[in-house]
Amino acid sequence: EAGVAQSPRYKIIEKRQSVAFWCNPISGHATLYWYQQILGQGPKLLIQFQNNGVVDDSQLPKDRFSAERLKGVDSTLKIQPAKLEDSAVYLCASSFSAEQYFGPGTRLTVT
Amino acid sequence: GQQLNQSPQSMFIQEGEDVSMNCTSSSIFNTWLWYKQDPGEGPVLLIALYKAGELTSNGRLTAQFGITRKDSFLNISASIPSDVGIYFCAGRGSNYQLIWGAGTKLIIKP
């Protein structure tokens, strides 16, 4: 069974630029999550989708972050404009039940 | 809000030693999950616990769901070099949101 796929793996941008991350969840997983992980910390949930609907986006900085899951499968997370403090690993996870399975993450560096 | 306290923050271990780490919560959880994260990778699910008192093993790893439903423990027996990494606990309460610990970093003594 293929795992959660994410791309790109690494991205370096300058502040005020925009960036987008892509995630393809495990086949059949209705729930998809985007997390932000700062070095030395646990993952922080940004947004949770159930199929193509948003379940929880309470911690998403909506002035600069947006996410969509139009067909209930793939998802994209966008940051526009990026700030220095957005430097982190962005993890995508999917689940069928309580158990969440993670992709390898995208390491974003904002200079 | 719900908080998870994971300890210890880091551990230096000799190869062959047993390792214990735990997580405690300020509120009750219905599910406990334990993950391991290697550098440059996403967390990998090790063990999932669904019932108070449940004891589950995965090879040399054993985890328990505390009776009070506010804590969980992970033990690693006879540690080997590939056990090095960061271990996270995560608990899910009645609101279905997953709350994460800050991680326990396992380091092998030279």
Name the average pLDDT for chain A. 95
Q: Is B56 on the interface with A (CB under 8 A)?
A: no
pLDDT of residue A1: 67
With CB atoms and an 8 Å threshold, state whether A42 touches B45: no
pLDDT of residue A72: 85
Does residue B70 register a pLDDT over 60? yes
Tell me which H or E stretch contains A30.
none
Does residue A71 register a pLDDT over 90? no
pLDDT of residue B93: 84
Chain B residue with Cα closest to A108: B40
The pLDDT confidence band at residue B1, using thresholds 50, 70 and 90, is low
Q: What is the mean pLDDT of residues A41-66?
A: 94
Chain A residues touching B103 at Cβ < 8 A: 40-42
Q: Measured between CB atoms, which of B42, B45, B97 is closest to A99?
A: B45
Q: Which of B57, B51, B46 is nearest to B90 (CA)?
A: B46
